[in-house]
Chains A and B, each alone.
Chain A
Amino acid sequence: MYDLAIIGGGPAGYSAAFEAIKFKKKVILFEASEIGGTCLNSGCIPTKYLNHVSEELSFLKKADVYGISVNDVVFDYLKSWNYMQDKIFQLKEGLILGLKSGNIDIVYGKALIIDNTTIACNELEYIATNILICTGSKPKKPFRNDENVVTSDGLLKIKKVPESLLVLGGGVVAVEFANIFAELGSQVTICIRGDRILRGWDKEIVVGLTQQLKKRGIKILNKCSQDEMSMRQADVILSALGREPDLDIESARRLKLQTDEGIAVDDNGMTSIPNVYAAGDVISKSSQLAHVAMYQGERAVQAMLSDDKSVKIPVVTKCIYVGMEVASVGYTLEESKMAGINTISAKQVMGSNARTLILDGDRGFIKVIADADNDILVGAHLMCERAGDMISELSLAVNEKTRIDELIRNVKPHPSFCEEITGALKMLKTKM
């Protein structure tokens, strides 16, 4: 008899497991494939690895300006791919070790929920007081059947750089892979149905990033018809048309769970059945972000195992890694105005930032959006070096409603990338 059975060992599942052992609870974790989920095995981690490799290669091409002569740069993708597997293995081993040292039982196999306390796996039945479903998501099925069409999972299994890569879709996954393989030597074309890539992102980031990708030789074809997306050819065709919840239909049916595009849950992650929770990409309207899944896993455990049912849903950050980084939190300019906020914004460019200049960084900026009536930040959108790290300070400020004056008083190191945040905030103050 377990206090908690978790189905799925990705970011939501393992974070929930670690949280549950803080409550001294007996936990069992079912994993149908690999611990770490999409994030570690076929998502965030391998793409960040490949992004790093593409950055290193890109640096070698321009190293001469720094007086570094590099002759005969030879890139061996297979060797690099194998090293990527080593990195994934190391992270996975660390995770498994952590789970085991927390006395969490791990069972590999597909779990079927029999009823709200019983789970079957590998022909055995397990009983648990609470169940947390964290089965994640999977790439949407491609609409083309050509044998060279792959999803992101498939592309990461190919052990060579394709000569040409056609990317169908313009979301984060599409953009990151397009950038990686363009930098590694592929001729890359992105086909999108709409006007622009990255729907839902700050317009200035979308336009700015489009220009950067074009400069790197990536063709972006917009307003593509279904025919055009179906006919265009390349060595490898990446179908990156979004992801969908990876839901076990039979388990959902047995529990009579509401499953409109994912499991319907309340703010604590509770389903329509009081002792059954869900977290991460499998829930309805998921953000499909690993860090959100981790938060949701922990929150679900806190709600089910403690008396604290209060919930404060944070504004979360989202990032894109394309050599330089893009990071975003809170309202865009348009959203802020739509919300009826007395909106002001300021943009600090990175062109004269010493650290950016030293590494010959691409055009970048830090844009901050504020509620002028209350002197607080409501959004921040960064496109520059280390944006993914720098956004945390601004995310904290948005969530905690820190006054802009207080943020400015936080003296930054010099020379640093982050000192430009202060520049942007000071510019905001001049507009108040």
Chain B
Amino acid sequence: MTSMYSDKHIQILVEKGIAVLNLSEYALKELKTIVFVNLPDVGDRVETGSTFGDIESIKTVSDLISPINGKVEEVNEELLDAPELLTAENWIIKVSQFELNENEFMSEEQYKKYVEKCDV
């Protein structure tokens, strides 16, 4: 499976009809030390363009903006106890009942070019 990226730095990976959302490696590096991850509940609806949680670093709070509409199927609750586990290889939430138009997102190559000229 190949990853897609939103302009709000969310990485999307679709596996067996479930969209797995994470923060991009670039965004994680920019945020540096993460002290808390604020997550939705299983069963919550996420909406395109709306906040589904946030990431606290020592100095700032960065909203997690959903790239899709859907239902939260699973939440990575181990991040609550150990936010340092949030890496590019991990995940934040898994979403079902979503509609996804691949053309609206960036490929890894496109995203790399995109982050060269933006801030988180």
Least CB distance from B2 to A in Å reads: 33
Q: Which of A307-315, A345-353, A401-409 contacts B (4 or more CB under 8 A)?
A: A345-353
Q: How large is the interface on A (under 10, 10 to 19, 20 to 34, 35 or more residues)?
A: 10 to 19
Q: Which residue of A lies closest to B40 (CB)?
A: A203
CB proximity of A341 to chain B, nearest CB, Å? 16
Interchain CA distance A207-B54 in the complex, whole Å: 13
Chain A residues lying within 8 Å of B58, measured Cβ to Cβ, are 349, 351-352
Within 8 A of A (CB), among B39-53: 39, 41
Interface string of A211-241 (1 = CB under 8 A from B): 1001000000000000000000000000000
In the complex, are the beta carbons of A349 and B81 less than 8 A apart? no
Decide: A365 near B81, CB < 8 A? Known: A348-B61, A349-B61, A351-B35: no
How long is the Cα–Cα vector from A52 to B39 in the complex, in angstroms?
32
User: Chain A nearest CB: distance from B43 CB in Å?
Assistant: 11
Question: CA–CA, A204 to B41, complex, Å?
Answer: 11
Contact between A363 and B38 (Cβ–Cβ < 8 Å)? Answer: no
The 8 Å CB contact of A347, one of B35, B41, B57, B61, is B61
Complex Cα gap A352–B36 (Å): 14
| B residues in contact with A203, CB < 8 Å | 41
Q: Which of these, A208, A211, A349, A363, contacts B60 with CB under 8 Å?
A: A349
Q: A347, B54: Cβ atoms under 8 Å?
A: yes
Q: How far is the CA of A259 from the CA of B57 in the complex (A)?
A: 51
Contact B35 A363 (CB under 8 A): yes
A207 CA to B37 CA, complexed, in Å:
10
Chain A residues within 8 Å of B36, by CB: 208, 211, 363
> Could you say which of A203, A214, A349, A363 has the most chain B C-beta atoms within 10 Å of its C-beta?
A349
| Chain A positions 177-211 with a Cβ under 8 Å from a chain B Cβ | 203-204, 207-208, 210-211
Query: In the complex, what residues of B have CB within 8 A of residue A204's CB?
Result: 38
A contact residues around B39 at 8 Å (CB): 207
Known contacts: A348-B61, A352-B59. The answer to whether A211 contacts B80 by CB under 8 A is yes
Within 8 A of B (CB), among A362-388: 363, 365
Cβ–Cβ contact B59 & A349, under 8 A: yes
- The residues of B that contact A348 with a CB separation of less than 8 Å are 61
> CB-nearest residue of chain B relative to A208?
B36
A215's nearest neighbour on chain B, judged by CB, is: B81
Question: Within residues 54 to 69 of chain B, which ones have a CB less than 8 A from any CB in chain A?
Answer: 54, 56-61
Contacts of B38 in A (CB 8 A): 204, 207
Contact residues in B for A208 (Cβ distance below 8 Å): 36
- Which 4 pairs between the two chains have the least Cβ-Cβ distance? A351-B58, A352-B59, A347-B61, A349-B56
17 further A-B pairs in the complex, CB-CB below 8 A; given A211-B36, A347-B61: A204-B38, A207-B39, A207-B80, A210-B80, A211-B81, A214-B81, A347-B54, A347-B56, A349-B56, A349-B57, A349-B61, A351-B57, A351-B58, A351-B59, A352-B58, A363-B56, A365-B56
